[in-house]
C-alpha cells in the first residue's frame, strides 16, 4: 500500500507513525513542502491513503503558502475517491477548511499534555477502539477548527473543545499529536523555545520534559493501541471495529 504524506516542515515528521507504517509494509511517499524543490502530486489516484502532518503555519495562510490550496483540493479528492485520510494538528485544520469549516485562533493556546475525552461516537469509532474513555495527548497549537457540516465529533477537551472528528467514514482530523516521540518533543522545545518560554515561563521546558518522560512510561499501551487502530483505518478498515484484536 502506498501512502502520500504531506510534511510541511522537517522537524514535524511522521514520528511513531513512520515506524508503524514501515512495520506493516506500507510504502510512504513523503513530500517535504519546505523544500523548494518539492512539489505535490497533482492527484491522489496513485495512492491508497493520504496523511497530512502538522506545521507552524496557519491553515488559512494560503497567501503565504499557496500550496495549501492544493492540499485542500487533494483532501476533497481523497474524500470523493473513498481514500482513508488522516490530518494531524495543522493537517486536521486543513481538513476542516477543505470542507468549508472555520479555522482560526483558539481562545486558549495548548502546549504540553492535556486530557481529552471520547464522545459516544468516538467510543464506537475504529480509530479509538479499545482506548480508555479519556486519556492524555500531546498538544502544541494556537489555532483550532470548527466542525464541517456533517462531520461527527469524536473527542473533546476542556481548554479546546474540538479535538477529533470524522468526515464521512474515512476522513479523520486530529487536533492533537499521538505520533510524537520523546526526541520530537525535545527538538520542538529547542527550535520553538521562545514560544515555549512565552507560554509557560522559564521553568516550563523542564516541567514539559519530565511530564513527557512520565507520559511515555505510563501510556505505552495507549500509544500502541492507537497506532494499531490507525494503521487498520489507513489500510481501509470500515466501521466494523470488531475485526480489530483487543489484545
Residue 237: its pLDDT value, please? 72
Catalytic residue among 8, 12, 72, 89: 89
Residue 129: its pLDDT value, please? 97
State the DSSP string of 47-96. Answer: -SEEEE---SS-TT-TTT-THHHHHHHHHHHHHHHT--EEEETHHHHHHH
Contacts of 1 (CB under 8 A, 6+ apart): 25, 26, 27, 48, 49, 234, 235
The answer to whether residue 72 is catalytic is no
Going by the DSSP 8-state scheme, the letter that residue 9 receives in this structure is S
Residue 236: its pLDDT value, please? 85
Residue 136 phi, psi (nearest 5): -95, 140
The answer to whether residue 179 is catalytic is yes
Contacts of 18 (CB under 8 A, 6+ apart): 28
Residue 126: its pLDDT value, please? 97
Catalytic residue among 12, 72, 110, 179: 179
The answer to whether residue 231 is catalytic is no
Give the right CATH number for 2-238 from 3.40.50.880, 3.40.50.150, 3.20.20.80, 3.50.50.60. Answer: 3.40.50.880
How do the pLDDT tens digits run along the chain, 247 residues long?
999 999 999 999 999 999 999 999 999 999 999 999 999 999 999 999 999 999 999 999 999 999 999 999 999 999 999 999 999 999 999 999 999 999 999 999 999 999 999 999 999 999 999 999 999 999 999 999 999 999 999 999 999 999 999 999 999 999 999 999 999 999 999 999 999 999 999 999 999 999 999 999 999 999 999 999 999 999 987 443 333 333 2
Strand ranges, E, within 119-229: 134-145, 152-157, 162-167, 171-174
Amino acid at each position: 500500500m502506498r501512502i502520500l504524506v504531506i510534511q510541511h516542515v522537517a522537524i514535524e515528521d511522521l514520528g511513531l507513525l513512520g515506524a508503524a507504517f514501515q512495520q506493516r509494509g506500507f510504502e510512504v511517499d513523503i513530500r517535504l513542502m519546505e523544500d523548494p524543490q518539492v512539489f505535490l502530486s497533482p492527484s491522489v489516484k496513485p495512492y491508497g491513503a493520504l496523511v497530512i502532518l502538522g506545521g507552524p503555519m496557519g491553515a488559512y495562510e494560503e497567501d503565504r503558502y499557496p500550496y495549501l490550496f492544493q492540499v485542500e483540493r487533494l483532501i476533497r479528492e481523497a474524500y470523493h475517491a473513498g481514500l482513508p485520510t488522516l490530518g494531524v494538528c495543522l493537517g486536521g485544520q486543513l481538513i476542516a477548511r477543505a470542507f468549508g469549516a472555520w479555522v482560526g485562533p483558539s481562545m486558549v493556546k495548548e502546549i504540553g499534555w492535556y486530557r481529552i475525552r471520547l464522545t459516544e461516537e468516538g467510543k464506537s469509532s475504529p480509530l479509538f477502539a479499545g482506548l480508555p474513555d479519556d486519556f492524555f495527548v500531546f498538544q502544541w497549537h494556537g489555532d483550532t477548527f470548527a466542525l464541517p457540516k456533517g462531520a461527527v465529533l469524536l473527542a473533546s477537551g476542556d481548554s479546546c473543545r474540538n479535538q477529533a472528528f470524522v468526515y464521512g467514514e474515512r476522513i479523520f482530523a486530529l487536533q492533537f499529536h499521538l505520533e510524537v516521540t520523546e526526541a520530537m518533543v525535545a527538538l520542538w522545545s529547542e527550535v520553538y523555545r521562545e514560544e515555549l518560554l512565552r507560554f509557560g515561563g522559564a521553568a516550563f521546558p523542564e516541567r514539559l520534559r519530565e511530564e513527557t518522560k512520565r507520559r511515555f512510561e505510563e501510556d505505552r499501551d495507549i500509544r500502541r493501541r492507537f497506532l494499531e487502530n490507525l494503521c487498520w483505518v489507513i489500510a481501509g478498515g470500515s466501521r466494523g471495529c470488531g475485526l480489530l484484536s483487543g489484545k
